[in-house]
Structure 1
Amino acid sequence: MTATELLPEARSARQVLADARALMDPAVRAAVGRLPEPVQRVAGYHFGWLDACGGPAEAPGAKAVRPALALLSASAVGGSARAAVPGAVGVELVHNFSLLHDDVMDGDRFRHHRPTVWVVFGVPAAVLAGDALWALALRVLDECGATGAATRMLTTALEGLVAGQSADTDFERRTDVTVEQCRAMAAGKTGALLGCACALGALFGGGSRGQITCLAGFGEQLGMAFQLVDDLLGIWGDPAVTGKPIGSDVASRKKSLPVVFALSSGTPAGEELAALYRLERPLTHAEVTRAADLVEQAGGRLWAQAEAGRLSARALTSLRSAAPLRVPAAEMSGLLELITHRTS
């Protein structure tokens, strides 16, 4: 039984996400609407509001996990969710800045079942749109009169995100990546921004320093669990749901956490996987299937599932340590449950 079922007045996780989008989207649209053309059009396409020609569109949008965490964290410390909207918008803009750049660096051609921005508009336009969103995030915080602490939180998260992405890129050229190095990469690439979302929400909600620290810890641990689930879906996810080809991460020989665990396992399956990863040509469909099987045989899948569970438990401990209000705490717990059991 989930926390939201134990507390009937709490919203379901899906309702929490829907409400977060409803509260945040107008502010995000207003902020993006201040960007100059053609950057505004490129960003609008990325968010799913516009088609490639600049006409209105209703493409599937992001889940709004980070904004939801910011809004819930404000409520958890006794503040108003609406007061935390600037923090939620800032985090969402930074997140989308990172997605635009990630798609370029990873060569990903699809996101949410649509061609990515760099495919449609070119690499320079994608990079510039990402840069514009980052600058816009700082502007949103500045114009709402946020304290210097809020800006420091966001810039520190960005530093972690860049460090994580840099390590992820570096891993592609290395054969000696350890599980601990991969953990550190995930902590920066995913954990830092989710932790920042919670910290900003608690700050805007008037939380104490201790509450801000504990809720940041909740977000960081949730972020690590989120990354592990993402890694599992990158290998075994259903293409019809994820929008990516089956085994996409092993096809690109990505050094995700389950893969690195398998490569470090010292098992025959791990050795065979390493040989496939060393091939200097694209993997065939059969080899991609085989590589995914080898990750599982070497224990990578079970380890990642167990690790996601361990991190979820640690996240809940951090949440309880913040002494949150009951309903927001139940909703945060429900969101954690949804994130760690998602299929896309």
Structure 2
Amino acid sequence: MAARFAASPSGDLGDPRPLPPHATSEVLTRYRRLMEPALRQAVTSLHPWGAHMAAFTLGWSDIDGTPLDEHGGKSLRPALAMLCAQAAGSPPDSAVPGALAVELVHAFSLVHDDIIDSDERRRHRDAVWKAFGVGPAVLTGDALLALAISRLAATDNSIAMGYLSRALVELVHGQTEDMAFENRPWNGDDAVTAEEYSGMAARKTGALLGCAAAVGTALGGGSAAQAERMYGMGRSLGLAYQMVDDLLGIWGDPAVTGKPVYSDLRAGKKTLPVLSALAADDPAAGKLEDLLLTGDLDDDTVRLAADLIEAAGGADVTRELAARHAGLAVEALGACFPGATELHELRDLCELIVNRSH
């Protein structure tokens, strides 16, 4: 399902040849190690019970508190923040408060998302609500959000705080739209359109990536204009990210994603592969619509629905659009920071988003 994208023909990104396969993991590991001490110190300031659940959320410990030698996520957003600070002319640690803030907000959103969606598994383990209960999970998410705001506020950078506030409003707006879409019909005048989907994804997923890039730029001494351009870049990147998520939510390997196969179809989510397939001028589109309207989502039905989505071109359209939006993000990076040595690594992160498997 990989969908490669091209560097800008202007040459702003320099040599467009692919980086070595290990390059992205090295970038993420380097910046995670730079941020993690500050993140762990911040978490210890929580109530002991909250800190225990936060450590589980972040992948640092098991349910009983046993330390784990692993990490909860890829840390894409913190890496993006610190790379943007460097591209703006400052050392990466200048963006550490912003990096940990966006990571904490991301963790908060996942904790609450799993409650909303009744997802019992996250990253091959019990979701926080499944491990500790819904009430404690809500409090854990709230604590992570409050901690994010307090740590970024301590920088006294009003531009950075403005972007965090803006992203939070957009994130909640997008999540609300995503939930509301589930109650909309599959066909007719009130059916969800691809345009509505794009607006939702840009807010739900793009806002925090935009925040990471803009906050990193601001903390790194970039101009207000550069920060605004990077916020827009992140929203484009978020569209690509969400589109790949949609593909993984239907066809992802459970052994890699940590979630059941066809999970989004079972939940009746209005994702781009489904919307694109339904809009296609193809016999499979009509069959898919009839199937979805039955409301019967047993194993055989969701398997057939996935086949019909692919036959109608829904998967191909989604891959192509994800690659296009990632390409736009790369072009925006090159235009905002022409000649910056970090552009190769920034480009590599963008490519990872489109070609990831989880």
Cα distance in 2 for residues equivalent to 1:322 and 1:305: 26
Question: Would you say 1:50 and 2:61 are equivalent positions?
Answer: yes
Q: Which residue of 1 aligns with 2:280?
A: 265
The match for 1:165 among 175, 178, 194 is 175
Q: Per-residue deviation at 1:268?
A: 3.2
Look up the equivalent residue of 1:275 and give its one-letter code: D
Look up the equivalent residue of 1:284 and give its one-letter code: D
Cα distance in 2 for residues equivalent to 1:166 and 1:289: 28
The question of whether the paired residues in 2 share the 8 Å contact of 1:7 and 1:327 is answered with no
Q: Per-residue deviation at 1:137?
A: 0.6
Cα distance in 2 for residues equivalent to 1:4 and 1:99: 36
The question of whether the paired residues in 2 share the 8 Å contact of 1:162 and 1:189 is answered with yes
- What TM-score results when the alignment is normalised by the length of structure 2? 0.90
Look up the equivalent residue of 2:317 and give its one-letter code: W
Q: Per-residue deviation at 1:135?
A: 0.6
Greater displacement, 257-266 / 160-169: 257-266
Q: Which residue of 2 aligns with 1:245?
A: 260
Change (3 A) 1:210 1:298: same
Look up the equivalent residue of 1:76 and give its one-letter code: A
Q: Which residue of 2 aligns with 1:90?
A: 101
Q: Percent identity?
A: 46
How many pairs were matched up? 341
Cα distance in 2 for residues equivalent to 1:147 and 1:323: 21
Cα distance in 1 for residues equivalent to 2:156 and 2:314: 43
Q: Per-residue deviation at 1:4?
A: 7.5
Change (3 A) 1:8 1:226: closer
The match for 1:212 among 202, 227, 230 is 227
Q: Which residue of 2 aligns with 1:61?
A: 72
The question of whether the paired residues in 2 share the 8 Å contact of 1:91 and 1:197 is answered with yes
Question: Would you say 1:29 and 2:43 are equivalent positions?
Answer: no
Instruction: Please give the residue correspondences for 1:89-238 in structure 2 after superposition, counting only pairs within 5 Å.
Output: 89-143=100-154, 145-175=155-185, 176-238=191-253
The question of whether the paired residues in 2 share the 8 Å contact of 1:210 and 1:322 is answered with no
Q: Which residue of 2 aligns with 1:296?
A: 310
Q: Per-residue deviation at 1:169?
A: 0.4
Cα deviation 1:180-217 (Å, max 9, x = unaligned)? 00111100111110011000000011011222122222
Cα deviation 1:296-328 (Å, max 9, x = unaligned)? 112111100110121122112211211344321
Q: Per-residue deviation at 1:254?
A: 1.3
Cα distance in 2 for residues equivalent to 1:125 and 1:270: 43
Look up the equivalent residue of 1:97 and give its one-letter code: F
Cα deviation 1:101-130 (Å, max 9, x = unaligned)? 000001111111001000011111111110
The question of whether the paired residues in 1 share the 8 Å contact of 2:98 and 2:215 is answered with yes
Cα deviation 1:74-110 (Å, max 9, x = unaligned)? 0111111100000001111111110000000011111
Q: Per-residue deviation at 1:37?
A: 2.5
Look up the equivalent residue of 2:318 and give its one-letter code: A
The question of whether the paired residues in 2 share the 8 Å contact of 1:262 and 1:298 is answered with yes
Q: Secondary structure at the match of 2:139?
A: helix
Cα distance in 1 for residues equivalent to 2:92 and 2:71: 24
The question of whether the paired residues in 2 share the 8 Å contact of 1:98 and 1:130 is answered with yes
The question of whether the paired residues in 1 share the 8 Å contact of 2:19 and 2:348 is answered with no
Cα deviation 1:154-189 (Å, max 9, x = unaligned)? 011011100110000001110111100011110011
The match for 1:275 among 280, 283, 290 is 290
Change (3 A) 1:46 1:4: farther
Gaps of 5+ in 1: none
The match for 1:306 among 306, 310, 320 is 320
- What TM-score results when the alignment is normalised by the length of structure 1? 0.94
Q: Per-residue deviation at 1:6?
A: 5.2
Look up the equivalent residue of 2:182 and give its one-letter code: E
For the aligned residue pairs, the C-alpha RMSD in angstroms reads 2.0
Cα distance in 1 for residues equivalent to 2:346 and 2:94: 18
Cα distance in 2 for residues equivalent to 1:328 and 1:48: 28
The question of whether the paired residues in 2 share the 8 Å contact of 1:190 and 1:224 is answered with yes
Cα distance in 1 for residues equivalent to 2:48 and 2:69: 20
